[in-house]
Amino acid sequence: MTTSSSTFRTPTAGSRTVLASPALLLALISAAAFALSGPFAKSLFDVGWSPGAAVAVRIGGAAVVLLIPVIITLVRRWSKVKGSLGRIAIYGVVPIALCQLFYFNAVQHLSVGVALLLEYLSPVLLVGWAWLMTRSRPRALTIVGAVCAMTGLVLVLDLAGSQKVSLEGVLWGLAAAVCSAVYFVMSAKADDAVPPVLMAGGGMAVGAAMIVGLGVVGVLPMSFTFTDPVFAGTPVHWLVPVLGLVLVTTVFAYLMGIVATRGLGSKVASFVALFEVLFAVIWAWLLLGEMPRIIQLLGGLAIMGGVVLVRLDDLRGSSSRGPSYPVGLEIAGALPADALPVEQLPAVTLATKTPQP
């Protein structure tokens, strides 16, 4: 596809900064919401829930919450979205269902820290994929930022000491990283025909059906209890952590994540998502009384520095590398079929694409 400068112009640093500021904030909020899943899920695990049960309720409950908005959106926009139903199904299977399933499988063979580290290799995979697709080496600032962010991730996870290493676990963890990378690529697609509520809600429905199906055939163990757990040091009704998992860490987090990724592009959004690990440490400190170590705080600063470097590199990108801002993995010199003039991007990514459930 060929284009001219009259139909698409590469955003300047100033215009990109204006565009990305709200999206960057939404990405951080999304990361903080995703990170709350740990404390909510831990309270359920303590009273006998299995990880598979927690995932099934989390995704299935979110699908139910978004069911009416999804149906309304389908009815109103059927002619525009019917061609995207396959993509929505893939979104539900790969980034939503398989990513969580692969991660839990990795945890069965590795320590939680190592499994997390493997899953959060997704930003590096995205940079490598862009390198492969564009045949153009990432600029030095992106490389330095990636190294800095991943070093910070290792510090935050505090991997010192003996760690369990299993080839099977490593493969599961790398599979989770690939699914995580797919999440950012698919979320970044600036497509008017598929609003975030439909992408998230439709994906949740497909993902929930898959997880429940795996539970029915016995591949994924399911164990539920209705004992009231302790959350943040206080006995609560079992619905409290369940609703937290469904509404906060899934419905809200995924919607904000999709909107933010469409504003930032897949590359930058994937690096900002590393803050989820730091937020998880902070939530564990505030809600579970698990005090972070100095090395973890230093790791958080390293992640922040890495994200800043990658973001600065994104802002100063040259036009010769193609319009990589809305979606960070497009082939240099080519535009996606649904690319919009940059003048329209603020309204599309931050206003018209944010229907509320």
Q: For residue 327, what pLDDT band results from cuts at 50, 70 and 90?
A: very low
Contact 310, 149 (CB under 8 A): yes
Lowest-pLDDT range of 95-104, 152-161, 331-340: 331-340
pLDDT of residue 342: 30
pLDDT of residue 235: 92
Q: For residue 351, what pLDDT band results from cuts at 50, 70 and 90?
A: very low
- What percentage of the chain exceeds 70 in pLDDT? 78
pLDDT of residue 274: 80
Q: Is the pLDDT of residue 81 over 80?
A: yes
- What percentage of the chain exceeds 90 in pLDDT? 18
Question: What is the chain's mean pLDDT, rounded?
Answer: 76
This prediction has a pTM of 0.70
Pairwise pLDDT comparison (181 vs 281), residue with the higher score: 181
The single-letter DSSP state of residue 50 is -
pLDDT of residue 19: 39
Lowest-pLDDT range of 193-207, 225-239, 326-340: 326-340
- At a CB cut-off of 8 Å and minimum separation 6, what does 351 contact? none
Q: Match 């695990």 to its residue by tokens.
A: 45
The stretch 160-179 carries a mean pLDDT of: 77
Q: Is the pLDDT of residue 318 over 60?
A: no
Q: Tell the burial category of 177 from Cβ atoms under 10 Å away from its Cβ (0-12, 13-18, 19+).
A: buried
Q: For residue 159, what pLDDT band results from cuts at 50, 70 and 90?
A: low
Q: Is the pLDDT of residue 17 over 50?
A: no
Contact 269, 307 (CB under 8 A): no
